[in-house]
Structure 1
Amino acid sequence: MAQVQITQIKSIIDRPERQKATMKALGLGKINKTVIKEFTPQIAGMVNHVQHLVAVKEV
């Protein structure tokens, strides 16, 4: 599968708990932190849920 680079670009302060939990599950939590993940349907759904907080780039 393809890999994607997910970078947090906005803070999770004052966000709903569900979005905070999604960011934690992605391995993010601080601005400018980057993780590389396999682009599975599960990851795609999580990214879609917090798309306003992250930037996604294909590796």
Structure 2
Amino acid sequence: MIYYGHEGGDTERDAVLEFVSQLNQQEYTAAIYRTLNQVNNPPFLVMIEKLERYRHG
């Protein structure tokens, strides 16, 4: 969950999104779930799934 409505929140949000966007698409699926009708920087969810063939254990 990313909450960016605090000082430095925009920087943190951007860093997480940049990191996740660089994950290898052969190994991970990434998605964002966010509300569209809320104001004041509502938090949003970043989901990361490691694909089955790359799981260990």
Could you say whether these structures have the same fold, taking a TM-score greater than 0.5 normalized by the shorter chain as the test? no
Which structure exhibits the higher relative contact order, with contacts defined as CA atoms closer than 8 Å and separated by 6 or more residues? Answer: 1
TM-score by length of 1: 0.26
Larger fraction in helix: 1
TM-score by length of 2: 0.27
Larger fraction in strand: 1
